């Protein structure tokens, strides 16, 4: 893995995801406790709000998946008229949150997020 602090490596990987995946507007890695570990967010998006909402959404998604017999949570996504908010677990202690435009190709986004999640898990290990 590249040199630098853990936070720097996390941010670099988030920036790579944004540069290499069409229609990704913002990315963040949030602890399950709702604390931002790293982010690449445009102006106007509050880091703390993204972190708190991501942790809440992850917790609810895990509960729904478990209680409805769907197994371990893999991804959660919300579609709004202006695009998507997609969350994917990063190991057991964090979540990757991505904001993507409406026209994004979800299959490509999910694939790129899975790869990024694997890399982020390695960085956090």
pTM of the model: 0.91
| Domains, the chain | 6-124 (3.30.450.30)
Other C-beta atoms lying within 10 Å of the C-beta of residue 49 = 9
**What pLDDT digit, counting tens, does each position of 72-104 carry?**
888 999 999 999 999 999 998 899 999 999 999
Q: How far apart are CA 51 and CA 33, in angstroms?
A: 9
**Residue 82 neighbours by CB under 8 Å, 6+ apart:** 101, 102
- Residue 122 to residues 26, 85, 99, 100: CA-CA distances in angstroms? 21, 23, 22, 24
Strand 94-100 vs strand 24-31: parallel, antiparallel, or unpaired? Answer: antiparallel
């Amino acid at each position: 893995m590249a040199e630098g602090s853990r936070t720097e490596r996390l941010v670099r990987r988030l920036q790579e995801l944004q540069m290499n995946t069409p229609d990704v507007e913002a990315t963040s890695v949030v602890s399950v406790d709702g604390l931002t570990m790293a982010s690449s967010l445009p102006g106007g998006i509050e880091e703390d709000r993204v972190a708190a909402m991501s942790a809440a959404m992850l917790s609810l998604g895990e509960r729904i998946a478990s209680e409805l017999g769907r197994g371990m949570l893999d991804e959660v996504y919300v579609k709004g008229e202006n695009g998507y908010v997609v969350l994917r677990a990063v190991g057991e202690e964090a979540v990757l949150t991505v904001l993507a435009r409406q026209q994004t190709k979800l299959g490509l986004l999910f694939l790129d997020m899975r790869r990024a999640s694997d890399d982020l898990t390695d960085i956090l290990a």
